[in-house]
Amino acid sequence: MIGRRAVVGGLFAVSALLPRAPARASLLQVERRPSETFTLANGLQVVVLPSRRAPIVMQLLVYKVGSADETFGRTGIAHFLEHMMFKGTGTIGPGEFARIVSRNGGRGNAFTSMDMTGYHQTIAADRLELMMRMEADRMANLRILEQELTPERQVVLEERRMRVDNVPAELLEEAVREPLFGPHKPYAMPTIGYVDDLKRLGGDDLSAFYRRFYAPNNAVLVVAGDTTAEEVQKLAETHYGPIPAREVEARRRPAEGGSGLPQRIMRADARVAEPRWNRDFIAPSYRTGDSRQANALLILTWLFGGSETSRLSRALVANGKLALSASASYGANSLGLSSFEISVHPAQGRSVSEIETAVGDQMKRVLDGDVTAEEVERAQNRLLASAIYSQDSLASGPRLYGSMLATGGTIAELDHWPQAIAAVQPDDVVAAARHVWRDDRSVTSLLTPAGGWQ
């Protein structure tokens, strides 16, 4: 499965214990989610998130490697290897891993994003040791056989055809990312890889990538659910502990986006029924660029285009009747730079110039300083509520911990996240918009029917 970017939520619970921010008396109050962490002697970082809501557990093993760690001409390795991780070891036959999980009443899957690769199983608490034993086995003993590689390559190519080549919007996104991040740069290349690269990749390529990145000291284990830190540590020491650490080179990401911006890209496609308009801006993340802007950009995303009651939706959809939908998106949790996207689905008969004028008017209001404390507070509460809701999920909570740690963050940052969001002021939002919403950091894209935008 290929990972997609998303607005960051959080991992926190309602509480009246934390002091209220003086200027935000009605903000949701939160406390640190109970968690315990430890690191094995071989460098494997372990996070335990106890919960007694149900007698089940979720094991998530995240490797600090993704498609952005590939090189141009060898794209798609991280995702292809994710597939091959289910093809067996010396003790577990091809496809048997998934069948064992299913036979024991559980479910499992995997994902690949630009910065990480993850494997997870949700199962009855008394089957946790079985899951650890199998996951540790394929961390150290994966077998990549030609008879399994050839048919799985066709599976990956078909996945690309279904998810990218047959989806005009995805093809346009590939075309946008190249100038936005720079040709051949880590975030410009598709996670699933280019077709020609996928056809060339061989067992030696995958094995070398596996040996280079799949090591305990390059991984984070998150276990959530009906268990304790003591139990998890005992099992982790038994099954993951004997795997030796290996030297893993530091990962690097460009500190700048593409050159030659702004650019405009249009894709006309007979499969498109209605046009779309997008504008993407290079943006900082928690790790790269002016990271102080990241939390303010999350607030900006919500108040500008994060819901049907946001500024953009009210102005273009509810009031102006210019669009069927209008939204904004941004992801802060990236090892490198991120992007801030504005997207509009125009109403029938509306022109490109009308859409761009209307979006520009709403952006200008923000850039001119027209951001109120009340709408900032509403956006903050939306983000804090998402943190609260994540407590009820055995999927989103562990994945946020894994994502933060896999991209250079810390548990302390997660613990402090609600206070950081609550501290954002209207002036911070305006400053973040001025920092990011610049023509020389943008790519505007149009997706139209074959006849163009009528």
* 1, pLDDT greater than 90: no
Point out the least confidently predicted range of 9-13, 72-76, 170-174, 204-208: 9-13
For 382, list phi and psi in degrees, rounded to 5.
-65, -45
* Residue (of 266, 202, 279, 216) closest to 244 by Cα position: 216
Cβ atoms 78, 70 nearer than 8 A: yes
pLDDT in tens, 360-375: 999 999 999 999 999 9
Please tell me the pTM assigned to this model. Answer: 0.92
Q: How far apart, in whole angstroms, are the C-alpha atoms of residue 44 and residue 248?
A: 13
At residue 33, the pLDDT reads 81
* 191, pLDDT greater than 90: yes
Point out the least confidently predicted range of 210-214, 310-314, 410-414: 410-414
Residue 242 neighbours by CB distance under 10 Å: 12
Distances (CA, A) of 40 to 48, 119, 120: 13, 19, 20
Determine the 3-state secondary structure of 59 from DSSP: strand
At residue 386, the pLDDT reads 85
At residue 397, the pLDDT reads 85
**Percent above pLDDT 90 for the chain:** 87
Clarify whether 82 is annotated catalytic.
yes
At residue 6, the pLDDT reads 34
Helical segments of 93-145, H only = 96-103, 128-140
pLDDT, averaged across the chain: 92
Distances (CA, A) of 401 to 129, 217, 306: 21, 17, 23
CA neighbours within 13 Å on the CB side: how many for 315? 19
Sign of CA pseudo-dihedral 119, 3, 205, 336: negative
Query: Residues, the chain, total?
Result: 454
Can you name the residues that pair with 73 across neighbouring β-strands? none
Helical segments of 141-240, H only = 146-160, 168-181, 195-200, 203-213, 229-239
Q: How far apart, in whole angstroms, are the C-alpha atoms of residue 358 and residue 306?
A: 17
**Percent above pLDDT 70 for the chain:** 94
Annotated catalytic residue within 70, 82, 375, 377: 82
At residue 80, the pLDDT reads 98
The C-alpha R_g of the chain, in whole angstroms, comes to 23
Region at 184 (left for phi over 0; alpha for psi -120 to 50; beta for the rest)? left
pLDDT mean over 296-308: 97
pLDDT in tens, 112-162: 999 999 999 999 999 999 999 999 999 999 999 999 999 999 999 999 999
Residue 396 neighbours by CB distance under 10 Å: 18
Sign of CA pseudo-dihedral 302, 303, 308, 313: negative
* 14, pLDDT greater than 70: no
**Bridging pattern class, strands 442-448 and 263-268:** parallel
* Residue (of 99, 106, 115) closest to 59 by Cα position: 106
Cβ atoms 175, 188 nearer than 8 A: no
At residue 10, the pLDDT reads 34
At residue 23, the pLDDT reads 44
Q: Which residue ranges form the domains of the chain, and what is each CATH number?
A: 33-239 (3.30.830.10), 263-448 (3.30.830.10)
Point out the least confidently predicted range of 99-108, 213-222, 381-390, 440-449: 381-390
